[in-house]
Structure 1
């Protein structure tokens, strides 16, 4: 109520809501807010400043509540009943702060405001009733299923599409029991895998195939080839098969991303990923070396995708979900044999038969039960320790090392010649020569680089063919 004396203003007041607060200066404000020149009041829209009692920023009294963030600028008024002529009180000196301290404090204030805003938004979302307190709390949840999107080429997308076309092979026979992986080739039930996976049951034994959905069926060998380390088995009575697409392995580049699927150590449905770390690796797997029928030769794709025993026969896939290789061998740390059957684990050196070669051999196995190998018609000296593949002095049982009338003889090869390249691809050993020629089909022409008596020659040779085992 008014007792006839002029109303004494409070020590601090907030600006009216219909008046915008003055813009903050570019420099850091004083400890208790910005000040303005004495004798003016904040300008309102459409009005000019009018004289008023002198103002100066002064600290609020202890009993008054402090300004709250977000309520606008607080102006402190100087006592108009002070003795005439007294100057406005200066603001209390701010404690000395270095530039680093000021920046840190400002960052802390901004962080606090952001946290407060986030908290307010969360609180409003939790209430869900216009701000009332219902006494219960409902925690936020991620929408069911999320976005449900994966980028093209993502491992998850490739795996989801490919897993229905991958099977797991269990073999018993010849006192051996093991597992491997297979690739569904068609809806008729043909499945591609490695020869060394099914070899124990080649003469007698049992082969069963488990599909991704859990269905298990017996399988029989359609055809197999030891030289290529490939085999085809067939299951009957299964519908809804999902064949995988065999891609173009010749288009693969070093560094391309790849995905491997298999059953390492009997862990079915295992998906791993990596890159193509090398191409055209001349790999000899199985046996103890030499050119025996138990040795497989492959001009392999090398990958660092983890491959372990049990991955044999499974797909190596590109970013488009196409099979570009059949996983067949690893270089293991324990014995260095490179055979997938080794108990050593992956050290990042896995090898796959290129899909171009696998497609050709699989078609022959389905059509004829065996594959036809390209041959040169010479006997190679596997004991030669120099660089290249040397033609032996004699063949088996004293026969000529260069088969009379064969492709080698027609090209002009002679005993003692050292082959150093096939179509420009280097040849360092006898195994390399076999591997390089396996890239071709019988009847195709290749250029052989040959050293003879210190002279380098180039010979054109048309490859012959021979049935493999």
Structure 2
């Protein structure tokens, strides 16, 4: 079965005059890799008023009251972001937009202007969402919303419009921060919840600007936790990285929701919508959001430094399977992450971690075996490769020394490795 994974596209409109009409297209690629806030006080907006039903015993009215409260208290903190890019000189034929990450069983899509509409220059505007982070005018959105922007304009719920400056970006979490000089009076930053406490089945409310329709509220539930998304910049970095701990929801997420909010029943941020999985390039009930715990780690660094340093071990690997275990003469139920490759000069290499050293054929396909099997990090079990990625993202920082428990030739041993900063795109 084919899977179609997109970063949520911003809504993109061309400004060139094409026979007196503006062309409209959806930009691509459609993309979708709790900590105290360093250096600043945690925003303390007035929390959304608790839902109270005017008709006790009527759950539908109670739900409606709660949603009214969320709309009243949260929607004003969600903004529309318009990004303008300068005209780009083009040849007679416009190139296709970049490919999606090269994922198994996921086709690549390209979106380009029909030949009869190709202008010689193409000023464009992209529309996305964002939310107020603090009273200093910082606004959080997705990196893919503001990437390549020449001008960023923020429109608040009351219609106030402000030009914004780019403060910092982190492609590896698809987060960015912009700043405006003035906020509307009495506008409060959004309250942030700990996404690590979210459970499957919890109510989820998405607020953003799908298709440019400002202040749209949609309702659903938390469908799954612990998903992972490929990082768009991986192709530029020479490695493959993922965003861990992604939240899945069936609240309707569409182009233009990028950078908006996913909140809980108290109107507190639990995630930032960033991707959808859909065969129709619009909501099909699988929306994906960067968890608020990651937002709380990354955003303060973007405000202070303009970037965020992700902990990096310098390995690639895969989850152990019974077939791999058998090939390595381990118990069939052996869990862990098999190290396939170790980056030369990286933390794992310097610590002495071993990558796979031979290739075998399984089910007619080549497979690498023989490397160390990671079974724990700092005494936290690793049952699959994503467990390692999640631990590094949640619980470590650059310069920290971690203790790896590995199986080498079937025998356990421990290795200390000092984490470095993940290489950035060049």
Q: TM-score range by the shorter chain?
A: 0.5 to 0.7
* Residues 70-96 of structure 1, C-alpha deviations (whole Å, 9 max, x = no match): xxxxxxxxxxxxxxxxxxxxxxxxxxx
| Residue aligned with 1:360, SS | helix
**Equivalent residue runs for 1:116-195 within 5 Å:** 151=62, 154-173=66-85, 176-195=124-143
Partner of 1:58: none
Change (3 A) 1:266 1:367: same
* Counterparts of 1:467 and 1:285, CA distance in 2: 13
* Counterparts of 1:466 and 1:288, CA distance in 2: 11
Q: What are structure 1's unaligned runs of at least 5 residues?
A: 1-145, 335-343
Q: 2:166 is matched with which residue: 221, 230, 238?
A: 221
**Equivalent residue runs for 1:2-151 within 5 Å:** 151=62
Kept in 2, the 8 Å contact 1:283–1:300? The answer is: yes
| Residue aligned with 1:281, SS | strand
Q: 1:372 is matched with which residue: 302, 306, 309?
A: 309
* Residues 320-374 of structure 1, C-alpha deviations (whole Å, 9 max, x = no match): 111011111111214xxxxxxxxx0112111111111101110001111111211
Give the number of aligned pairs: 301
Kept in 2, the 8 Å contact 1:171–1:197? The answer is: yes
The answer to whether residue 247 in structure 2 is matched with residue 301 in structure 1 is yes
Change (3 A) 1:458 1:332: farther
User: Displacement, 1:414?
Assistant: 2.2
Partner of 2:393: 438
* Counterparts of 1:293 and 1:267, CA distance in 2: 37
* Residues 13-71 of structure 1, C-alpha deviations (whole Å, 9 max, x = no match): xxxxxxxxxxxxxxxxxxxxxxxxxxxxxxxxxxxxxxxxxxxxxxxxxxxxxxxxxxx
* Counterparts of 1:276 and 1:290, CA distance in 2: 32
| Residue aligned with 1:357, SS | helix
Kept in 2, the 8 Å contact 1:420–1:428? The answer is: no
The root-mean-square deviation of aligned C-alpha atoms, in Å, is 3.5
Q: 1:278 is matched with which residue: 206, 224, 228?
A: 224
Q: What's the TM-score once normalised by structure 2's chain length?
A: 0.62
Kept in 2, the 8 Å contact 1:274–1:306? The answer is: yes
Change (3 A) 1:162 1:292: farther
* Counterparts of 2:70 and 2:252, CA distance in 1: 16
Partner of 1:452: 408
* Counterparts of 1:421 and 1:242, CA distance in 2: 42
User: Displacement, 1:173?
Assistant: 1.6
User: Displacement, 1:380?
Assistant: 2.2
Larger relative contact order (CA 8 Å, sep ≥ 6): 2
